[in-house]
């Protein structure tokens, strides 16, 4: 979870690695498999969104021999508890981030989370997660202005922008994004008021400033919106969980 907190949007924990002697190599693969699934279980508990069907759920287990420096890479489907190891290639690449697209935005936050009087201390995390889920839905329903424009979700993100030519050194392109949240429900929406006795509340006010990266050759607008929505919710959830621990 600490590694996940440090990563900017668009970057995930893709697997685990282990450096071991030849004598421990055989037992090491079973340990890596258990570690991969335990890491995914820990991360999924803090995840306030569902993975899309087209998203890859394979995670890598990298085993490096300390004597021969031989590298063995296998992947496991973390969505399938009975998943068996699949061989995978491991390659080193240079200047990989030069082709990435960076997205940045700042969102003002004003979240009110009531704490029920009937709840115990163990339900504090549950109450806060429910409150963040409501805010997460609000972010998903927001309008995203990319460089001041509203674009169709299936439009290419870089459509209309000039491409680099000649020997120009590539650099990370940056797009400024503004998130417009709805102040109230639409005319056709219906809601039910509920009266509950509360012993207190948590109020979160301020601004969430985030940066996300897209590492796709031809990114679509919907990919940018998805990445930013997730990193906004992820950052707020992680900040709140840190405060609750303190």
Q: What is the pLDDT of residue 191?
A: 67
Cα atoms found within 13 Å of the Cα of residue 134, Cβ hemisphere only: 12
Does the pTM of the predicted model rise above 0.85? no
Q: Which residues pair with 235 in a beta bridge?
A: none
Distance CA 111, CA 204 (A): 5
Comparing CA positions, the residue from 3, 4, 5, 30 lying closest to residue 18 is: 30
Cβ partners under 8 Å of residue 215, min gap 6: 10, 96, 97, 99, 100
Cβ-based neighbour number of residue 64 at 10 Å: 17
Q: For residue 125, what are the CA distances in angstroms to 109, 229, 236, 241?
A: 19, 21, 14, 8
Residues of 162-186 as b/e, b for ≥16 C-beta within 10 angstroms?
eeeeeeeeeeeeebebebeeeeeee
- CA separation for the pair 77, 79 (Å, rounded): 5
Q: Are 235 and 210 in contact (CB under 8 A)?
A: yes
Q: What is the pLDDT of residue 186?
A: 54
Q: What are the residues facing 143 on neighbouring strands?
A: 180
Taking the chain (246 residues) in runs of 10, the rounded mean pLDDT of each run is 76 88 82 91 80 84 91 92 91 76 90 77 72 86 90 84 53 83 63 77 86 84 90 81 61
Task: Determine phi and psi for 199, rounding to 5 degrees.
Answer: -95, -10
H-helix segments, the chain:
2-6, 25-45, 124-140, 221-245
Q: How far apart are CA 26 and CA 18, in angstroms?
A: 12
Q: Where are any strands of DSSP class E within 78-160?
A: 86-88, 101-116, 143-146
Cα–Cα nearest to 119, from 106, 111, 128, 110:
128
Sketch the domain layout of the chain as residue ranges: 2-92, 97-159+167-245
Are 207 and 239 in contact by the 8 Å Cβ rule? The answer is: no
pLDDT of residue 160: 64
């Amino acid at each position: 979870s600490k590694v996940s907190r440090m990563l900017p949007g668009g970057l995930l924990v893709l697997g685990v690695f282990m450096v071991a002697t030849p004598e421990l190599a055989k037992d090491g693969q079973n340990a890596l498999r258990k570690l991969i699934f335990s890491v995914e279980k820990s991360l999924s508990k803090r995840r306030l969104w569902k993975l899309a069907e087209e998203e890859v759920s394979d995670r890598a287990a990298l085993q490096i021999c300390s004597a021969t420096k031989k590298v063995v890479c296998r992947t496991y489907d973390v969505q399938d508890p009975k998943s068996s190891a699949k061989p995978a290639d491991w390659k080193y690449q240079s200047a990989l981030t030069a082709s990435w697209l960076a997205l940045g935005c700042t969102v003002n936050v004003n979240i009110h989370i009531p704490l029920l009087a009937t709840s115990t201390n163990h339900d504090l995390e549950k109450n806060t997660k429910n409150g963040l889920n409501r805010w997460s839905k609000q972010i998903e329903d927001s309008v995203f202005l990319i460089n001041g424009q509203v674009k169709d979700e299936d439009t290419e993100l870089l459509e209309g922008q000039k491409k680099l030519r000649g020997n120009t050194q590539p650099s990370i392109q940056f797009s400024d994004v503004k998130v417009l949240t709805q102040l109230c429900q639409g005319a056709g929406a219906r809601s039910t008021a509920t009266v509950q006795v509360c012993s207190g509340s948590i109020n979160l006010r301020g601004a969430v400033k985030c940066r996300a990266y897209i590492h796709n050759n031809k990114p679509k607008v919907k990919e940018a919106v998805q990445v930013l929505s997730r990193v906004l919710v992820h950052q707020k959830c992680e900040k709140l969980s840190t405060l609750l621990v303190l």
